[in-house]
Amino acid sequence: MFGGGNSITLFRVKGIRVAVDWSWFLVLFLVIFWLSNFYGDLLGVPSSSSEPYLLAVASAAGFFGSILLHEFGHAIVALRNGIGISTIRLWIFGGVAEMDRESDSAGTEFKVAIGGPVVTALIAVVLVAIGVLVSGGSAFSDAVTLRVDADTSGVMAMVGWLAAINLIVLVFNLLPAFPMDGGRVVRAIAWKVTGNRSSATRFAAGLGRIFGYLFIALGLLLVFRGVIFSGIWLALIGFLINGSARAASAQTTVTSQLEGVSVEDVMDESPVAIPASMSVERALDEYFLRYQWSWFPVTDDQGLFAGIVVREAVDGVAETERLTATVGEHLDSNSHGFHIRQDAPLESLLGNADMRKFGALMVTDQTGHLAGVVTIEQLGRALKPV
């Protein structure tokens, strides 16, 4: 839904980094603490006992697993539509799949936006079906509504809680409050109707700001009525939605200048690249010492982009090994995302972390061959008023 700050990498799935922000651990602690008390009351044992605690830990794992699957729903649809995913990040207010560019059509925007809610809906349906089949409708209904006198086992109570939390996540995410999933669905529909992404974004962002103010007002009302934690939580979400919607609306002023412009329209078609099979010794002499650049793109024998090599990596090779060591053996391990397709919209470069880090991105054609390079300076010139 939103994005966090610094994060810890958990694992990678097909090149997608799965990470958690430090704030995620706060939510993990709160969920386990609260559910330990709930399961203790349900089972009639102290919350410090092993069974309530283990059920709480399993519930927390299931909850964050559901959020992760929700984000993978977005990611899978995005990948199938040619949109790269660098990271899926979990943080205090949910998760976010970080895409390397915006959708190029209203249809793609709709499919990517609805992918997450579809997964969440399927999870909820499966959990409800399991609960009803095992515990019966009435008992499972009591478990879903978190009644401590529910006539069900601790495991089924956990299934009920997970079903309830996924239903809440589903309904909340489908609210038309941009940049939440429902707001992105609204933007896709408005984009389809008007044919203009910028105006659709401004419309969806306007709705997002309205909902943001409503969440803030409702949160403050809950605080005044003594529901402190939920009120503060809802108000903070309102502030985040409002700020994100305002930023998205402001960004349309910039991106409107780039509509219809692709990366290949501004790129340099003659990038200097080092063959992957070249020795480190020759690369130092013929490229790094000659051009005095800190990094170079690297291509394989077929001209396919292989990654980048930085000066520090080749300098670190022992002098006795430089004649036999090849450049391809010393590529930067994080350079897999250091490229963009030539037919990508130029606006997809805005906010690109690799471009900020290196000052440029390599450009590839549809087959992966190196086609050019686009720099921050070229992007800046494209953004200047005519």
Residue 95 lies in a domain: yes
Pick from 281, 286, 287: which is nearest to 323 by CA? 281
Residue 112 lies in a domain: yes
What CA–CA distances, in Å, run from 31 to 85, 180, 353?
29, 23, 33
The residues, any chain, with a CB within 8 Å of residue 272's CB and separated by 6 or more, are 287, 291, 296, 297
Q: Which of 259, 289, 310 is the last residue of a domain?
A: 259
Query: Are 9 and 157 members of one domain?
Result: yes
- Return the pLDDT at 150: 64
Distance CA 361, CA 382 (A): 15
Domain enclosing residue 160, as ranges: 1-174
Q: Which of 142, 174, 206 is the last residue of a domain?
A: 174
CATH number of the domain within which 296 lies? 3.10.580.10
Confirm whether pTM is higher than 0.75: no
Query: Are 367 and 269 members of one domain?
Result: yes
Query: Are 110 and 5 members of one domain?
Result: yes
Contacts from 288-291 at CB under 8 Å and sequence distance 24+?
Answer: 288/314
| Structure-token match 């200097």, residue found | 272
What CA–CA distances, in Å, run from 221 to 216, 228, 324?
9, 10, 71
Phi, psi of 370 (to 5 degrees): -65, 120
- Return the pLDDT at 141: 80
- Return the pLDDT at 281: 95
- Return the pLDDT at 204: 92
Q: Which amino acid is at 196?
A: N
DSSP state at residue 178 = T
Query: Per residue in 183-200, pLDDT tens?
Result: 999 999 999 999 888 889
Q: Which of 174, 201, 225 is the last residue of a domain?
A: 174
Query: Are 270 and 164 members of one domain?
Result: no
Pick from 210, 257, 213: which is nearest to 381 by CA? 257
Q: Which amino acid is at 112?
A: V
Angle at 342 between CA 341 and CA 344, to 5 degrees: 70
Instruction: Write the DSSP assignment of 351-377 as a string of letters.
Output: T-HHHHHHSEEEEE-TTSBEEEEEEHH
Neighbours of 158 (CB within 10 A): 24
Tokens of 17: 């980094």
- Return the pLDDT at 102: 76
Residue 114 lies in a domain: yes
Query: Per residue in 95-117, pLDDT tens?
Result: 888 887 778 789 999 999 999 99
What proportions of the chain, in percent to the nearest 5, are helix, strand and coil?
60, 15, 25
Query: Are 214 and 270 members of one domain?
Result: no
Query: Are 243 and 131 members of one domain?
Result: no
Phi, psi of 279 (to 5 degrees): -70, 155
Q: pLDDT 10s per residue in the chain (386 long)?
A: 444 446 788 888 877 889 988 888 888 888 898 888 888 887 888 867 888 899 999 999 999 999 999 999 999 999 998 787 878 988 877 888 888 777 878 999 999 999 999 999 999 999 999 988 887 777 678 767 767 666 677 888 899 889 989 999 999 999 998 889 999 999 999 999 998 888 898 899 999 999 999 999 999 999 998 888 778 888 988 898 888 888 887 777 666 666 678 888 889 888 899 999 999 999 999 999 999 999 999 999 998 999 899 999 999 999 999 999 999 999 987 666 688 888 877 877 776 667 777 788 899 988 889 999 998 888 887 777 65
- Return the pLDDT at 4: 44
Query: Per residue in 250-263, pLDDT tens?
Result: 777 666 666 678 88
Tokens of 347: 């606006």
Q: How many domains does the chain have?
A: 3
